[in-house]
């Protein structure tokens, strides 16, 4: 595989700004989803003890909670990427130590594996 170039400081700053903006959006999303999943809000929202209402409310709460958990996992990945930028290890594959292609980082700024290692990870080889 051909070696890829090291990211410039300007590129790293731009990536960090993008990650921080995404992080801010996710924090708001988590807060909104957590509020939506809060049982107290559903009780105060006028849902009565009708089984259909309770089933719908339960489904919507579970969906909000699932989306919130997904957003939290993304936040962890973003925080890890920001930490790697600060430590100077951003863009280096955590498995093989090679540089991660800039196009991959552009598409997935919190990527921790190069494409070769990611493929191996997915195929179990």
Is this structure's pTM higher than 0.85?
A: no
Q: Is position 2 within any domain?
A: no
Q: Tell me the residue range of the domain where 13 lies.
A: 9-92
Q: Is position 51 within any domain?
A: yes
Q: Is position 74 within any domain?
A: yes
> CA 123, CA 117: separation in Å to the nearest integer?
10
Looking at residue 49, its pLDDT comes to: 57
Looking at residue 89, its pLDDT comes to: 93
Looking at residue 2, its pLDDT comes to: 47
Q: Is position 61 within any domain?
A: yes
Looking at residue 101, its pLDDT comes to: 92
Looking at residue 53, its pLDDT comes to: 62
What is the chain's Cα-based Rg?
Answer: 20
Looking at residue 1, its pLDDT comes to: 44
How many folded domains does the chain comprise? Answer: 1
Looking at residue 35, its pLDDT comes to: 86
Q: Is position 125 within any domain?
A: no
Q: Is position 123 within any domain?
A: no
List per-residue pLDDT tens for the chain, 125 residues long. 445 567 889 989 999 999 999 999 999 999 998 888 776 555 555 555 556 666 777 788 888 889 999 999 999 999 999 999 999 999 999 999 999 998 899 899 999 999 999 999 898 76
Looking at residue 46, its pLDDT comes to: 54
Assign 20 to helix, strand or coil: helix
Q: Is position 15 within any domain?
A: yes
Q: Is position 59 within any domain?
A: yes
């Amino acid at each position: 595989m051909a070696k890829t170039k090291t990211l410039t400081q300007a590129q790293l700053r731009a990536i960090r700004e993008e990650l921080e903006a995404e992080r801010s959006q996710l924090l708001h999303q988590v807060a909104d989803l957590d509020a939506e999943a809060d049982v107290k809000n559903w009780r105060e929202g006028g849902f009565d003890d009708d089984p259909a209402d309770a089933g719908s409310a339960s489904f919507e709460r579970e969906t909000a909670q699932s989306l919130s958990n997904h957003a939290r996992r993304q936040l962890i990945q973003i925080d890890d990427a920001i930490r790697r930028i600060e430590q100077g290890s951003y863009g280096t594959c955590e498995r093989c130590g090679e540089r991660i292609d800039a196009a991959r980082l552009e598409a997935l700024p919190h990527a921790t594996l190069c494409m070769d290692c990611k493929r191996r990870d997915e195929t179990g080889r």
